[in-house]
Copies of this chain bind each other. A is one copy, B any other.
């Protein structure tokens, strides 16, 4: 395991934040699938900027260039590679972090892993910028899934402690997911946006940052997908979603709250609905024994607050072996969860296309 994921459908992510370029190889896609470039760019845009005052001012022109795998507008059965050039790079902003690791970032652990040979500029390979090729890959997979009746969408369940409503997990219409996955700031209750933005801006004004929780759902998966024990859908989704920087937790269905329920509350009764087996409620998040039940797959992903903050922080100088005070310059999102939301959708799409192809 590494920057590659998967067994049938394989995803390889490469690049560093301030190197020549970043990109993705997606190997194992079905052949003959039309890929609409115009559906990909809006997803890239959602990730690149969360709109309004809270987004990063670094404006990459994230126009992915497809090098291979698409022929006459369709997947051609060979690996799809897309690359993005790094531009608008201010490397000098990052010079100091080589030996003075930023708290909350992977600077120190990357240094130790590579014996100090990592590209430390802007976080290098650990940068959030690496989520751009993930979104590209996910947008490709989502188009293929959509033709198979599977839709994916997420909303900001909480930002800076301000909450949206939760999914009604047993009743999630595809149209809702289509709406959410087209928005820059997707909420079940759009009215929550103002309070959320206000809380984020307040933190930013105080040279601080905030975390958030993304709740994601997928509908249209038939019953019986997945494999036992380590091949369960939870195992797979977790193994790919922890690939997004700043993710610190994942839960399915009732999740951690299930630990406080009684079995009589948490068990979902089976019912017949239009001749199909369904469950009355959906505490199980569409997954029993790791296998799909045909109910919506619902999960939540916790994002820590952006580690880059303007406040002075305590760190060490790895060369001088001394305590130092660190001021992180540059401009950063005060809330990574917002821009990370389309990445959650994207990697979910990669994982579920693999699942559907497994059959």
Contacts and interface: CB of A to CB of B under 8 A. Distances in A.
Nearest to A26: B14
A320 B267 CA distance: 22
B67 A270 contact: no
B118 A227 contact: no
A110 interface: yes
Nearest to A19: B68
B112 A291 contact: yes
A23 interface: yes
Interface string A1-30: 111110110111111100111110101100
Interface string A292-326: 11100000101111111101011110100111000
Contact of A307 (B7, B253, B267): B267
A289 B208 contact: no
B108 A277 contact: yes
A255 interface: yes
Nearest to A272: B316
Given A108-B293, A249-B255, A313 B79 contact: no
B14 A25 contact: yes
Contacts of A289: 105-106, 109-110, 126, 245
Given A7-B1, A14-B27, A23-B81, A71 B118 contact: yes
A288 B117 contact: no
Interface stretch (A135-143, A164-172, A180-188, A232-240): A232-240
Nearest to A303: B259
B31 A118 contact: yes
A2 B31 CA distance: 14
A195 interface: no
A210 interface: yes
Classify chain A's interface size: 35 or more
Nearest to A357: B359
A213 B272 CA distance: 33
B76 A16 contact: yes
A302 B14 contact: no
A109 B242 CA distance: 26
A203 interface: yes
Interface of A: 1-5, 7-8, 10-16, 19-23, 25, 27-28, 31-32, 65-69, 71, 74-81, 83, 101, 103-106, 108-119, 124-126, 130, 158, 160-161, 203, 208-213, 222-232, 234-236, 238-240, 242-243, 245, 247-256, 258-272, 275, 277, 279-280, 283-285, 287-294, 300, 302-309, 311, 313-316, 318, 321-323, 334, 337
Given A7-B8, A78-B228, A103-B268, 6 more contacts: A3-B230, A4-B79, A14-B69, A15-B81, A77-B125, A235-B242
